[in-house]
């Protein structure tokens, strides 16, 4: 069977392509933007990629077309699918029908931290010997791949997104997954292009809650007011609570650590079990992610001690505080943060482990919500943990970043070209500095170009 995927280089659709290939299907796909790490991952699996959209990509006619939610009417390939009456479906629907049905499903939802939390959860299950399947919106470095079937009798971990499903199905993607265990990690306003307000997103999260069976479990962050409101709409499933509080009695699961110390911590499961561990990640937000994953893994028989030992060997997913390289003592770090809360959490986490040197933040406001300007009033405060901020003004952004830059309390500059941005960083960066690059896109290859430019600077200085 030949499956053709439209939007194949998106994190979800690319992962779905890997599962389809593992099931034995012939898989091809097209996309307007083909860039690593997804493009290299797909090519390594022998999946043919077509740059751009057009009717010719549908020759010979595939048996089924899976259409991503980035595609809409007017797209030439979508129009060809409809005009030729080719069978088509959405990614989430295909996943439910061909992968998820008949096995325990653990879905990880939340505005922030889905990729990291799902990666941790899959790793905890793997460490416990369960060989889980998973589909994650990134590449977990403990596995080196974003999706796999695993043991078909083992749990399947799915990163559960509230964004809509497809142009022909405007429900949130996660309502298709029918999880046995749903992790609700946090919830605030996002996706301003499709949701009017936070209440609209809370409604979608309650739709997810409605799909979890009474014999399943809801793993809920007890510190999130929005999630409390979601449960007040109705709950028919046992609730397991977790939170980052020193008072263990607040939730079923807690984490304790010294102030400012987030690399060494103790997991607590109520008053019954605890385990102290150390890991490579930083920031209080990642401790909460670990706590959520440990609580969810426990529903599948993973002990607190097993979870703690597994966390000590966990490597963050690619593009989540990922160290891309070090030149002349200058670290270049890649992070997916594209929301003020995520930006602030990332910078605060890195600041908590900062040694000598400065923290330089490089930010591209690229997401749909950012392009609409909905979050721009919160951006100046979100970068307060940095020493310097370098903003990039994409051509697609219809508002000026200069206003945000002027409101920053830290040294802040705006750039309209990647070349000028790289030149400024190369001129400014000094040994022991950390440069953290934050975008939900490729950023025009900024990371590698910056590392090359820093290398060239070092060579010149040595001559």
- Residues sharing a CB contact under 8 Å with residue 301, sequence separation 6 or more, in sequence order: 128
Token pair, residue 340, equals 């003020």
Q: Would you give the DSSP letter of residue 313? A: T
Residue-level length of the chain: 463
Is 228 marked as binding a ligand? no
Distance, in Å, from the CA atom of 3 to the CA atom of 97, rounded to the nearest integer, reads 14
Cβ atoms 414, 401 nearer than 8 A: yes
Number of H helices, E strands in the chain: 15, 23
Of the candidates 365, 363, 351, 364, which has an alpha carbon nearest to the alpha carbon of residue 433?
A: 351
Q: Tell whether 325 is in a known binding site.
A: no
The rounded distance, in Å, linking the Cα atoms of 442 and 89 is 28
Spatial distance between the Cα atoms of 32 and 353, rounded to a whole number of angstroms = 38
Exposed / middle / buried, residue 403 (Cβ in 10 Å: 0-12, 13-18, 19+): middle
Residue 374: name the closest of 364, 365, 382 by CA: 365
Strands across the sheet containing 2-6: 48-51, 26-31, 2-6, 64-67, 88-90
Q: What angle do CA 294, 307, 297 make, to 5 degrees?
A: 40
Contact between residue 130 and residue 154 where contact means Cβ atoms under 8 Å apart: yes
Sequence-distant (≥ 6) Cβ neighbours of residue 89 within 8 angstroms: 64, 65, 66, 67, 97
d(CA 434, CA 361) in angstroms, rounded, equals 8
Please indicate if the annotation marks 346 as binding a ligand.
no
CA nearest to 313, candidates 443, 133, 127: 127
Q: Find out whether 347 and 359 touch, Cβ atoms under 8 Å.
A: yes
Q: Is 152 annotated as a binding residue?
A: no
- CA–CA distance, 320 with 189 (Å, rounded to integer): 21
How far does Cα 260 stand from its chain's mean position? 24
Flag whether 40 is marked binding: no
CB count within 10 Å of CB 100 equals: 21
DSSP code of 458? H
Known binder of ligand: residue 129? Answer: no
113 is in an annotated binding site: yes
Q: Which two tokens stand for residue 397?
A: 């952004």
How far is C-alpha 318 from the geometric centre of its chain's CA atoms? 10
Contacts of 211 by beta carbon, 8 Å cutoff, 6+ apart: 175, 177, 178, 179
User: Annotated binding site for ATP, which residues?
Assistant: 110-116
User: Annotated binding site, which residues?
Assistant: 110-116
């Amino acid at each position: 069977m030949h499956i053709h995927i439209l939007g194949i280089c998106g994190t979800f659709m690319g992962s779905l392509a890997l599962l389809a290939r593992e099931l034995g299907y012939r898989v091809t796909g097209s996309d307007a933007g083909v860039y690593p790490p997804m493009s290299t991952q797909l090519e390594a699996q022998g999946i043919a990629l077509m740059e751009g959209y057009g009717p010719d990509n549908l020759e010979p006619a595939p048996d089924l077309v899976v259409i991503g939610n980035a595609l809409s009417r007017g797209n030439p390939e979508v129009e060809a699918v409809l005009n030729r009456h080719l069978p088509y479906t959405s990614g989430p629907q295909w996943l439910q029908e061909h992968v998820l049905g008949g096995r325990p499903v653990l879905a990880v939802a939340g505005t922030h931290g889905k990729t990291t939390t799902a990666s941790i959860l899959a790793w905890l299950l793997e460490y416990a010997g369960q060989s889980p399947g998973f589909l994650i919106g990134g590449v977990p470095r403990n596995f080196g791949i974003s999706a796999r079937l695993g043991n078909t009798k083992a749990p399947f971990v799915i990163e559960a997104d509230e964004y809509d499903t497809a142009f022909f199905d405007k429900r949130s993607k996660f309502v298709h997954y029918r999880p046995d265990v749903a992790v609700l990690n946090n919830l605030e306003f996002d996706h301003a292009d499709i949701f009017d307000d936070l209440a609209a997103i809370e409604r979608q999260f309650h739709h997810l809650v409605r799909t979890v069976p009474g014999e399943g479990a809801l793993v809920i962050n007890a510190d999130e007011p929005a999630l409390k409101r979601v449960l007040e709409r109705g709950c028919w499933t046992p609730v397991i609570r977790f939170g980052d509080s020193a008072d263990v009695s607040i939730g079923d699961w807690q984490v304790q650590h010294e102030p400012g110390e987030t690399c060494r911590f103790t997991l607590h499961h109520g008053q019954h079990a605890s385990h102290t561990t150390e890991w490579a990640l930083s920031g209080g937000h990642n401790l909460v992610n670990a706590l959520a994953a440990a609580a969810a893994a426990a529903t599948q028989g993973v002990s607190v001690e097993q979870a703690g030992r597994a966390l000590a060997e966990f490597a963050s997913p690619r593009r989540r505080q990922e160290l891309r390289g070090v030149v002349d003592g200058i670290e270049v770090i890649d992070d997916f943060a594209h929301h003020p809360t995520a930006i602030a959490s990332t910078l605060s986490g890195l600041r908590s482990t900062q040694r000598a040197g400065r923290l330089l933040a490089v930010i591209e406001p690229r997401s749909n919500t950012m392009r609409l300007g909905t979050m721009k009033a919160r951006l100046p405060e979100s970068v307060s943990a940095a020493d310097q901020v370098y903003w990039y003004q994409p051509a697609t952004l219809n508002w000026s970043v200069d206003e945000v830059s002027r409101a920053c309390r830290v040294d802040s500059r705006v750039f309209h070209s990647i070349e000028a941005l790289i030149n400024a960083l190369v001129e400014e960066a000094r040994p022991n500095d950390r440069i953290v690059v934050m975008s939900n896109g490729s950023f025009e290859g900024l990371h590698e170009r910056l590392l090359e430019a820093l290398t060239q600077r070092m060579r010149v200085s040595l001559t």
